[in-house]
Structure 1
Amino acid sequence: MCISSWKQPDSSPTHTLCRHSEIIAIQVEDLNFVVDGSSSVYITRSKTDPTGSVKYLSHLTVQHLQHRLDWVQIAP
């Protein structure tokens, strides 16, 4: 599932400092939720980093993502 609905300027992508093209390429499998709340997303490649990188997510972003995934009934 592509997380392309993150296009709104007030939503989670602004917390990752990712480009639009990086955001629309994120798949559910790229999300890493950890029990202690320190979650991350793997950006497969970007304009400035063709090998990929990991971006860490804030607790607020994680709550938003979990709520959205629950809403569409997708388990990470």
Structure 2
Amino acid sequence: MDSNLDEPLEYRIDRITELAPQVPAVVLEDVMNRIKDWIVSGGREDDPYIGQQLRFVERVAARSKEHDV
């Protein structure tokens, strides 16, 4: 589950998209809006903030998987 934070934004977005079915829609929407707002406001695509959002989605997906029956 370790996200490779040296990868470009496209990798991180692709990884979030892969995990999308495993997280609540509200979480996915929030994360994507945060990333969009970050980029629009001048944030860099390689900034650790984007990796932080990916790690959050990975944690939510892992928890969802743990509670899956």
Instruction: Return the TM-score normalized by structure 2.
Output: 0.33
Structure (1/2) with the larger helix percentage: 2
The TM-score normalised by the length of structure 1 is: 0.31
Which has the bigger relative contact order, CA under 8 A and spacing at least 6?
A: 2
